């Protein structure tokens, strides 16, 4: 079964075969038929398509996609070009500037993904205007497995957990990896520990310590979106 189109399919093949996953896809497909759902169907798995399993160095967990029209593109916290910057992403950039001394341009975050940053929402779809509307569909069982599979990687990686939902996933992460946790960058919580947490420099220090190339966090749109495999993969949620 070919859903993602890279090594993730082999890693997740047992998950694809489980009854809950088939039920999940049926629920989501029905929602797309009867409601307005984000992201577009061809971008549901964007995060996994952009970063193959063997290439992941940093995992940043989000909750569910942006639920306003035109925002969600399948990667946590990112939006497509020419879309107004959401408040959470604006706060992420504010912390990046405080941490590393520069404020990047652009909003797609594909430049991060191409360097091995997996921008994973724990729920991959959402109904328009209704945050967490698909949170009980079964996506979190699926994304918990993704986190567990990343945790199995022998090479140490960084898990950045923002907010209580993301922090709850810490139970799946072994001590050989670095966990950076803080409040969520949302305006409702950013001043309760997100600002000043310095996740970007801490992540790079850990990667360098373990012989890995650090992330150039200034590269945001450093990729031709028209060439991205997840923009070419049109069609249904599941491709067999």
Residues catalogued as catalytic: 64
Q: Any residues with CB less than 8 A from the CB of 70 and at least 6 apart, and which?
A: 79, 80, 83
HSE on the CB side for 186, CA within 13 Å?
13
Give the burial string for 115-143 (b: 16+ CB within 10 Å, else e). bbbbbbbbbbbbbeeeeebbbebbbbebb
Reading the block at residue 80, the tokens are: 């497509």
State how far the Cα of 138 lies from the Cα of 28, in Å rounded to an integer.
10
Cβ contact 93:197 at 8 Å: no
C-alpha angle with apex 119: 136 to 89, nearest 5 degrees?
95
Beta strands in 149-220 (DSSP E): 158-162, 178-182
Q: How far lies 107's CA from each of 100, 124, 138, 190, 219, in Å?
A: 18, 19, 28, 19, 10
State how far the Cα of 115 lies from the Cα of 159, in Å rounded to an integer.
15
State how far the Cα of 52 lies from the Cα of 67, in Å rounded to an integer.
26
The count of residues in the chain is: 240
């Amino acid at each position: 079964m070919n859903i993602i189109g890279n090594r993730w399919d082999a890693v997740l093949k047992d998950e694809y075969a489980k009854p809950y996953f088939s039920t999940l896809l049926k629920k989501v497909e029905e929602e797309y038929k009867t409601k307005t759902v984000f992201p577009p169907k061809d971008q549901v798995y964007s995060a996994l398509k952009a970063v193959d399993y063997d290439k992941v160095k940093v995992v940043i967990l989000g909750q569910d996609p942006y639920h306003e029209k035109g925002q969600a593109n399948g990667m946590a916290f990112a939006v497509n070009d020419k879309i107004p910057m959401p408040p959470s992403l604006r706060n992420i950039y504010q912390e990046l500037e405080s941490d590393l001394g520069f404020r990047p341009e652009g909003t797609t975050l594909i430049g991060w993904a191409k360097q091995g940053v997996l921008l994973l929402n724990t729920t991959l779809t959402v109904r328009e205007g209704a945050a967490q509307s698909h949170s009980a569909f079964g996506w979190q069982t699926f994304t918990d497995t993704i986190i567990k599979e990343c945790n199995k990687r022998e090479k140490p990686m960084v898990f950045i957990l923002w907010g209580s939902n993301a922090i709850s996933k810490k139970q799946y992460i072994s001590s050989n990896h670095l966990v950076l946790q803080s409040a969520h960058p949302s305006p409702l919580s950013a001043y309760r520990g997100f600002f000043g947490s310095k996740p970007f420099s801490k992540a790079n220090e850990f990667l360098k310590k373990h012989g890995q190339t650090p992330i150039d966090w200034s590269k945001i749109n450093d990729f031709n979106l028209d060439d991205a495999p997840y923009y070419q993969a049109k069609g249904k949620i599941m491709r067999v």
